[in-house]
Amino acid sequence: MDECVELIADCRLRAATDLFLHRWDPVLLAALAEGPRRRVDLRTAVGGISDKVLTESLRRLLGNGLVDRTRHGGAPPRVDYALTALGTSLVEGPLRELGRWTLAHADELLDAQARSSRTP
């Protein structure tokens, strides 16, 4: 895996892995994979995220150019969030691959975790 070594050296790998450093960001990205969603729908789709953290996470995704925000004026206000091209490429590539890996290896992973918590 030669590319990764380069990536470590110049920290570009960290630039990418940092996108997954916040608990809810990847989940929000996955939730947006189906298409644009209103803020409140995102909130319930994801489940268990607070208003504050939701806003922070969305702002971060905005700032990283992974998500777009559209205000449809009026009352009550309506705001849609959608993946950008960059966001889509991240979701359809690495995140999807991670989803596949999870399906294939969740058992082993949970096994290992259980084993290690029995023998601390």
Residue type, 65: G
φ, ψ at 69 (rounded to 5°): -120, 135
40 interacts with DNA by CB under 7 A: yes
Question: What is the three-state SS of 38-77?
Answer: EHHHHHHHHCCCCHHHHHHHHHHHHHCCCEEEEEECCCCC
Give SS3 for 99. Answer: helix
102 interacts with DNA by CB under 7 A: no
53 interacts with a copy of itself by CB under 8 A: no
51 interacts with DNA by CB under 7 A: yes
Site for a copy of itself, residues 22 to 41, rule: CB under 8 A: 23, 26-27, 30-31, 33-34
55 interacts with DNA by CB under 7 A: yes
Between 21 and 109, CB nearer to DNA:
21
Between 14 and 96, CB nearer to DNA:
14
Residue 43 neighbours by CB under 8 Å, 6+ apart: 49, 51, 54
- Pick from DNA, a copy of itself, none: which does 4 bind, CB < 5 to 8 A by kind? a copy of itself
User: To the nearest whole angstrom, how small is the minimum distance from the Cβ of residue 38 to a copy of itself?
Assistant: 17
